[in-house]
């Protein structure tokens, strides 16, 4: 059969204006959209783009306070910087590639260099208002989806100079969304830690830091540390370092105040340099892995004209501190060679504690080497014969060196539940790992159990997190268990496993709980799925007399056709997060340790299992 020719004429060529292009391809500007359930969802990128402008003003020496409020999805951000020049208020939020940051004299080490940020917020908001105050005058403009709706003349004002931005993210773009305050608070704390002296007021809460990265690291640590935090500051670089009692490596890296959650050249340079300097200090050729095991560190650098690998600026690509200047590797290494080496010489107790930690990591690695090799062979054989892992096609893009944002592994229990998810999933991006039954309670056990226990060994192999979280094969790790007592227990056992041996997976926001409906309410015309008794009662009222009501007792009772709704575009995920009030050790000791009377009293007092400390 002859191939039919497809017409390709001038009529096929389209030109989109700036706002239509942003709305047509929002992912190019703000990454993924999302509904607010993950910290890198688009609604938080919108807030970040507005805040970055405020922070740049502070860094340049203008405005020490930022006021933020979010109510009914209306976001308001007010800074007290210089204020947008009044004649350019409309242009800077509606003309692409327009802004002061192209003038390197005004913004030498800024985050937002490409003139897109507030334009993207404008185009993706159903309501957007900008108002600038300076020289006793103000100028405002209002937009809807990037289209200007109000352009009043300048007015006289007695208000302090600065800029006010208000917006409502457009539901046509983001669907039904919710601002999770804990994600926003985490973002604001990072801004405060990176800008000591700055005060951020958000919904009545104050965010301020005096010691910078020292405060950041202190707030992140949820385990016993081996020595006091080492805090070092230099021109355009600041680091904070300690070692904990867990496994893995934990880094918080920043460039020009931007949280680079995927690291980049500066984080790589730091990892390499810290191992080199410490080995040279002790005059020992320690394995770099032993030096860095259980390290908890924060590194912040300021770079002239940084190059990021995406518009959302989560990974630094620059190899130089400034164009034609010193390489990032040399810059970080020279700083640590001087400052870290001096610190260790001046603080012998810290140097001794650090060396003990390195020697302990070396012993544990050698003890595990034999059993690790045997376990890997078992994992290969078991995964082939038992088919515990139904893998997906997309994992890691080696060319771009970045993970597929939506790649997910569902961890479920029992053949019926895993069978339903397997039949319903998207085989390109969703994988399923099936447990035999309840996993082992690993609280208080050493990492040796990860290799000796077949279930844990296979799960670790499936996730590919033995060496580093950087090798994680799935961005979202989702625990999918029944909403009964047994399901809750399995959920706790799995969370214990991750917190005990791979806490970075939880700390970096990769672990979730899958919400599935408890009820189905339907009549001949419509079906509603309900996740609570309140939703069930509302559905009954909405559907009228005597609707059919089904109570799902387990995931296996939900048909594959129905399951597609719950793991597709409308998926509901609850992130597992660690609060600041308790350490990981305290949480695990309470829930999984041998404090039965205390735990019984807790259950009796609370009646309903909610696991609020975990999610």
Provide the pLDDT for residue 587.
Answer: 64
Closest CA to 462 of 424, 503, 431, 502: 431
529 vs 387, higher pLDDT? 529
Provide the pLDDT for residue 401.
Answer: 42
548 vs 437, higher pLDDT? 548
Determine the average pLDDT of the residues in 331-346.
95
Provide the pLDDT for residue 301.
Answer: 92
pLDDT tens digits for range 34-93: 888 878 888 998 999 899 889 888 888 899 999 999 998 999 999 999 999 998 888 888
Q: Considering only 6-10, 146-150, 159-163, which range has the smallest mean pLDDT? A: 6-10
For residue 87, the 8-state DSSP code is G
Helix/strand/coil for 376: helix
Instruction: Please state, for a pLDDT cut of 90, what percent of the chain lies above it.
Output: 37
Helices marked H in 555-606 — which ranges?
A: 560-566, 584-592, 596-606
Provide the pLDDT for residue 582.
Answer: 53
Provide the pLDDT for residue 517.
Answer: 86
Q: pLDDT category, 5, cuts 50, 70, 90?
A: low
Provide the pLDDT for residue 609.
Answer: 39
Rounded Cα distance between 423 and 30, Å, is: 32
First to last CA, the chain: 58
Provide the pLDDT for residue 387.
Answer: 65
Instruction: Please state, for a pLDDT cut of 70, what percent of the chain lies above it.
Output: 83
CA angle 496, 500, 502 (to 5 degrees): 105
Provide the pLDDT for residue 154.
Answer: 92
CA distance to 164, 233, 258, per residue, from 207 (Å): 19, 22, 17
Q: Could you give the domains of the chain?
A: 18-207 (3.30.565.10), 213-363 (3.30.230.10), 387-516+552-606 (3.40.50.670), 519-550 (no CATH)
Determine the average pLDDT of the residues in 501-521.
87
Rounded Cα distance between 520 and 531, Å, is: 9
Sequence-ordered strand ranges (E) for 27-64: none
pLDDT at residue 396 tops 60: no
Determine the average pLDDT of the residues in 11-36.
73
Give the highest mean pLDDT range of 328-337, 404-413, 419-428, 546-555: 328-337
Q: pLDDT category, 399, cuts 50, 70, 90?
A: very low
State how far Cα 592 lies from the chain centre.
27
Provide the pLDDT for residue 66.
Answer: 96
pLDDT at residue 120 tops 50: yes
Rounded Cα distance between 542 and 145, Å, is: 33
> What are φ and ψ of residue 424, in 5° steps?
-95, -20
Determine the average pLDDT of the residues in 287-294.
91
Rounded Cα distance between 166 and 142, Å, is: 9
pLDDT tens digits for range 214-257: 999 998 887 788 999 999 999 889 999 999 887 778 889 998 88
* Contacts of range 346-352, beta carbons closer than 8 Å, 24 or more positions apart: 349/227, 350/227, 350/228, 350/230, 351/281
Give the highest mean pLDDT range of 344-353, 390-399, 424-433, 494-503: 344-353
pLDDT at residue 452 tops 90: no
Determine the average pLDDT of the residues in 301-326.
74
Mean of pLDDT over the chain: 82
Q: Are strands 408-413 and 572-575 parallel, antiparallel or unpaired?
A: unpaired
Q: Considering only 97-101, 453-457, 475-479, 586-590, which range has the smallest mean pLDDT? A: 97-101
The strands making up 408-413's β-sheet, listed across from edge to edge, are 389-390, 430-435, 408-413, 476-480, 511-515, 572-575
Neighbouring residues of 65: CB distance < 8 A, sequence distance ≥ 6: 79, 80, 198, 199, 200, 201
Provide the pLDDT for residue 364.
Answer: 85
Give the highest mean pLDDT range of 447-456, 460-469, 531-540: 531-540
Q: pLDDT category, 106, cuts 50, 70, 90?
A: very low
> What are φ and ψ of residue 230, in 5° steps?
-90, 120
Closest CA to 517 of 443, 467, 567: 567
Sequence-ordered strand ranges (E) for 120-222: 125-134, 137-144, 147-150, 155-156, 162-169, 199-202, 205-207
Determine the average pLDDT of the residues in 346-368.
92
| pTM of the full structure | 0.70
Rounded Cα distance between 74 and 335, Å, is: 44
Neighbouring residues of 608: CB distance < 8 A, sequence distance ≥ 6: none
Closest CA to 274 of 337, 345, 347: 337
Cβ neighbours, 10 Å, residue 338 = 13
At 160, list the tokens: 């302090």
By CB atoms closer than 10 A (0-12, 13-18, 19+), residue 93 is buried
CA angle 165, 166, 172 (to 5 degrees): 130
Q: How many residues does the chain have?
A: 615
Paired strand residues for 290: none
**DSSP H or E stretch at residue 75:** strand 74-79
């Amino acid at each position: 059969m002859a191939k039919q020719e497809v017409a390709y004429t001038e009529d096929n060529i389209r030109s989109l204006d700036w706002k239509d292009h942003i709305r047509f391809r929002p992912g190019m500007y703000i990454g993924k959209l999302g509904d607010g359930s993950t910290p890198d969802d688009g609604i938080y990128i919108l807030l970040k783009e507005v805040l970055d402008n405020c922070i740049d003003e502070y860094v340049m020496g203008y405005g020490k306070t930022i006021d933020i409020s979010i109510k009914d999805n209306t976001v308001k951000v007010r800074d007290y910087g210089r204020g947008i020049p009044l004649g350019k208020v409309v242009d800077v939020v509606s003309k692409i590639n327009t802004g002061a940051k192209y003038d390197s004299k005004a913004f030498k080490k800024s985050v937002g260099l490409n003139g897109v940020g507030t334009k993207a917020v404008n185009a993706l908001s159903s309501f957007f208002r900008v108002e600038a105050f300076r020289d006793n005058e103000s100028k405002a403009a209002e937009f809807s989806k990037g289209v200007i709706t109000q352009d009043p003349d300048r007015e006289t004002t007695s208000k302090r100079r600065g800029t006010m931005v208000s917006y409502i993210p457009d539901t046509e773009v983001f669907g039904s969304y919710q601002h999770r305050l804990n994600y926003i608070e985490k973002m604001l704390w990072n801004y405060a830690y990176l800008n000591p002296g700055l005060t951020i007021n958000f919904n009545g809460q104050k965010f301020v830091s005096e010691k910078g990265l020292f405060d950041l690291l202190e707030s992140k640590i949820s385990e016993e540390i081996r020595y006091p935090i080492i805090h070092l500051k230099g021109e355009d670089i600041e680091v904070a370092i300690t070692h904990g009692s867990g496994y893995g490596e934990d880094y918080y890296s920043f460039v020009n105040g931007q949280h680079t959650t995927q690291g980049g050249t500066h984080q790589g340079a730091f990892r390499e340099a810290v191992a080199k300097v410490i080995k040279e200090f002790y005059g020992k050729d320690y394995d770099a892995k032993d030096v860095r095991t259980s390290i908890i560190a924060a590194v912040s650098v300021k770079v002239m004209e940084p190059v990021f690998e995406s518009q959302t600026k989560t990974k630094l690509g620059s190899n130089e501190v400034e164009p034609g200047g010193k390489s990032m590797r040399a810059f970080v290494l020279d700083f640590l060679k001087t400052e870290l080496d001096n610190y260790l010489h001046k603080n012998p107790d810290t140097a001794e504690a650090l060396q003990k930690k390195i020697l302990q990591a070396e012993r544990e690695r050698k003890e595990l080497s034999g059993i690790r090799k045997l376990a890997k062979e078992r994992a290969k054989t078991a995964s082939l014969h038992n088919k515990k892992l139904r893998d997906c096609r997309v994992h890691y893009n080696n060319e771009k060196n970045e993970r597929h944002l939506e790649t997910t592994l569902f961890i479920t229990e029992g053949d019926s539940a895993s069978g339903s998810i397997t039949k319903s999933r998207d085989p390109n991006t969703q994988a399923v790992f099936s447990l035999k039954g309840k996993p082992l309670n690993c609280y208080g056990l050493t990492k040796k159990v990860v290799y000796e226990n077949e279930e844990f060994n296979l799960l670790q192999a499936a996730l590919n997190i033995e060496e580093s979280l950087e090798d994680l094969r799935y961005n979202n790790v989702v625990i999918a268990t029944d909403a009964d007592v047994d399901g809750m227990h399995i959920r706790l056992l799995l969370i214990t496993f991750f917190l005990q041996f791979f806490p970075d997976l939880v700390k970096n926001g990769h672990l979730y709980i899958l919400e599935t409906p408890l009820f189905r309410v339907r009549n001949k015309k419509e079906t509603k799925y309900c996740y609570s008794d309140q939703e069930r009662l509302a559905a009954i009222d909405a559907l009228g007399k005597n609707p059919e009501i089904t109570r799902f007792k387990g995931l296996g009772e939900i048909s594959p056709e129905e399951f597609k709704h719950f793991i597709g575009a409308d998926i509901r995920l609850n992130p597992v997060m660690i609060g600041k009030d308790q350490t990981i050790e305290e949480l695990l000791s309470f829930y999984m340790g041998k404090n039965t009377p205390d735990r019984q009293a807790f259950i009796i007092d609370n009646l309903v299992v909610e696991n609020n400390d975990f999610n």
